[in-house]
């Protein structure tokens, strides 16, 4: 992907090194959407003790940790390897979805803010989030949050390197933003709330995620950033790498389909392809589709 001369989005906030802390008593019920469910419980009870200790330490130093997260937007260190790629990708998504909104009579596309953070972040609407969760979108504040260290993990641990693999990750989160501002997320979550079994509830999450993959594909099919040979394959490899079956097999050695929340590797790659080939948001209706 040749993004060097493409320009940069104005909606990037660099909040690295801000050192957000979990709020005690608040922010517990976090409703956010992410790229995949990675390492659940990385911190466990031990982590809670450590974080609690940090809270105590700050309190005893006369600093109120609860106000740290509301500090003005800082300008943390830049990550030269990834920042320009993310900035160019976000700019391109703004152009593509502005055009799509216009074509479909959806009015003006409200551009999302994208925050870089490191380690952990105090979001405006979804409480505290640790970077172990991976890149995510917070529907409550309509912002994207990315710790770019994830791109190293995607390449090294998940075997999906390349700039277009990283662009897919950004576009997937933008896909969640599109679902939110068009009201599709709310409709899917209302259906999910009426579901009676855990498996059925999860199936709605899968539809939400596969739609985000498809919207990422629509962006990839329409971006004005010149692509290189092999770029689309990089994105497909990344979509496969974050499939529930692949992640579960790696983590536990077995696969439990009823617990899937994001879709299989094959489904994710297929929906990305559907969006890419059609270049049409209407092709991404994963809700009224029998066969995912
Ligand atoms: Zn997602």
Distance 136 CA to ligand 1 centre (A): 7
d(CA 181, CA 230): 32
* Distance from residue 209's CA to the centre of ligand 1 (Å): 5
Answer whether 212's CB lies under 8 Å from 171's CB.
Answer: no
Query: Which burial class, exposed, middle or buried, applies to 280 when counting CB atoms under 10 A from its CB (0-12, 13-18, 19+)?
Result: middle
C-beta of residue 166 within 8 angstroms of C-beta of residue 83 = no
Tell me, in angstroms, the distance from the centre of ligand 1 to residue 176's CA: 7
pLDDT for 113 beyond 50: yes
Segment 44-69 shows an average pLDDT of 38
| Spatial CB neighbours of 45, under 8 Å, sequence gap ≥ 6 | none
| Confidence tier at 60 by pLDDT (50, 70, 90) | very low
Q: What's the gap in Å between 290 CA and the centre of ligand 1?
A: 21
Categorize the per-residue pLDDT at 49 as very low, low, confident or very high, splitting at 50, 70 and 90. Answer: very low
Q: Residue 284 Cα, ligand 1 centroid: separation in angstroms?
A: 14
Q: Where are the beta strands (DSSP E) in the chain?
A: 12-14, 33-34, 113-116, 120-122, 128-130, 136-138, 143-146
Q: β-pairing, 12-14 with 113-116?
A: parallel
> Would you say residue 56 has pLDDT above 50?
no
Q: Is the pLDDT of residue 28 over 90?
A: no
Instruction: State the average pLDDT over residues 114-122.
Output: 94
Please tell me the distance between residue 175's alpha carbon and the centre of ligand 1 in angstroms.
8
220 pLDDT higher than 90: yes
- Classified as helix, coil or strand, 260 is coil
How high does pLDDT run on average in the chain? Answer: 86
What share of the chain in percent tops pLDDT 90?
71
Burial call 8-46: b when 16+ CB within 10 Å, e when fewer = ebebbbbbbebbbbbbeeebeeeebbbbbbbeeeeeeee
* pLDDT score, position 71: 42
Task: Kindly tell me if the per-residue pLDDT of 62 is higher than 70.
Answer: no
Instruction: With both helix axes pointing from N to C terminus, report the angle between 198-222 and 265-278 in degrees, rounded to the nearest 10.
Output: 40
Q: 134: CA distance to ligand 1 center in Å?
A: 10
Task: For residue 15, report the distance from its CA to the centre of ligand 1, in Å.
Answer: 22
Q: Does the pLDDT of residue 126 top 50, yes or no?
A: yes
Whether residue 13 has pLDDT greater than 70? yes
Q: How far, in Å, from the CA of 10 to the mean position of ligand 1?
A: 23
State in Å: Cα 3 to ligand 1 middle. 24
Structure tokens at 131: 């970077």
pLDDT at 146: 96
Q: What is the distance in A from the centroid of ligand 1 to the CA of 131? A: 15
| pLDDT tier, 74 (very low <50, low <70, confident <90, very high otherwise) | low
**235 Cα to the center of ligand 1, angstroms:** 15
pLDDT for residue 24: 52
């Amino acid at each position: 992907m040749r993004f060097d001369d493409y320009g940069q989005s104005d909606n990037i906030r660099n909040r690295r090194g801000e050192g957000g802390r979990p709020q005690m008593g608040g922010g517990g019920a976090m409703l956010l959407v992410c790229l995949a469910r990675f390492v659940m419980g990385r911190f466990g009870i031990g982590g809670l003790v450590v974080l609690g200790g940090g809270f105590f330490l700050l309190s005893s130093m006369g600093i109120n940790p609860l106000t740290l997260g509301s500090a003005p937007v800082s300008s943390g260190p830049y990550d030269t390897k990834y920042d320009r790629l993310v900035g160019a990708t976000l700019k391109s998504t703004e152009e593509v979805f502005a055009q799509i909104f216009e074509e479909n009579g959806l009015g003006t596309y409200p551009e999302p803010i994208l925050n870089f953070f490191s380690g952990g972040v105090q979001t405006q609407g979804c409480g505290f989030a640790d970077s172990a969760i991976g890149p995510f979108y917070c529907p409550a504040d309509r912002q994207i949050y990315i710790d770019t260290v994830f791109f190293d993990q995607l390449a090294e641990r998940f075997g999906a390197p390349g700039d277009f693999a990283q662009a897919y990750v950004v576009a997937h989160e933008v896909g969640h933003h599109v679902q939110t501002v068009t009201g599709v997320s709310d409709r899917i979550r209302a259906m999910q709330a009426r579901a009676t079994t855990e498996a059925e509830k999860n199936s709605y999450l899968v539809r939400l995620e596969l739609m985000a993959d498809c919207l990422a594909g629509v962006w990839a099919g329409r971006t004005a950033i010149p692509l290189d040979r092999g770029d689309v394959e990089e994105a497909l490899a990344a979509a496969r790498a974050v499939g529930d079956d692949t992640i579960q097999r790696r983590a536990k050695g077995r696969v439990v389909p009823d617990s899937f929340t994001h879709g299989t590797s094959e489904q994710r790659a297929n929906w990305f392809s559907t969006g890419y080939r059609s270049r049409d948001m209407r092709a991404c209706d994963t809700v009224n589709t029998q066969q995912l």
